Amino acid sequence: MNIGNQKVVSITYKLQEGNKSGEVVQEVDNKEPFVFLFGAQQVLPDFEMNLKDKAVGDLFEFGVQSDSAYGPVDENAIVNLPRTMFEADGKLGEIVKVGNFLPMKDQEGNPLQGLVLEIADEHVRMDFNHPMAGKDLFFSGEVLDVREATAEELEHGHAHGPGGHHH
């Protein structure tokens, strides 16, 4: 069976920054493969394009340009926030350190992560860009399983079972 729309696909993959010799950002092995419903916009369009028509046992490797991945770095997403926002009883929280990602909320209360760039007397400089913004991605891996999606999976728009949604 080949990968295409309405198929549930299981793969291993390694994500590297830039190219084949770049830093490994994420690695998903066959103990806990990545499972997704193909054609349901769950993954980057370039990711699907490169996996289409592959079958079990096929290996893959491809690059995705930053513009087709997480987009360019947005300078407006780098902001100075009052240092007091990060303090409790006049002290900075323990996790507030340059280089750490902090769990925060946007104005609508949605969770987002921010990277601490600088801690100054009056402010903390934060970067709310996606960590992979402005970076090219390189994926490599293997196709472990391809099966027909169930009617329920198609209705929900995601895969069920091991590696998928449980509910």
Residues that bind Zn ion (CB under 5 A): 156, 165
Decide if 102 contacts 95 (C-beta within 8 A): yes
Looking at the Cβ atoms of 125 and 156, the one nearer to Zn ion is 156
3-state secondary structure 58-104: CEEEEEECHHHCCCCCCHHHEEEEEHHHHEECCEECCCCCCCCEEEE
> Which of 40, 137 has the CB closer to Zn ion?
40
CB of 10 to Zn ion, least distance (A): 17
CB-wise, 124 or 149, nearer to Zn ion? 149
At its nearest, how many Å lie between Zn ion and the CB of residue 161?
10
Separation CA 149–CA 133 (nearest Å): 32
Query: What's the closest the beta carbon of residue 158 comes to Zn ion, in angstroms?
Result: 5
Query: Are 142 and 12 a contacting pair, CB within 8 Å?
Result: yes
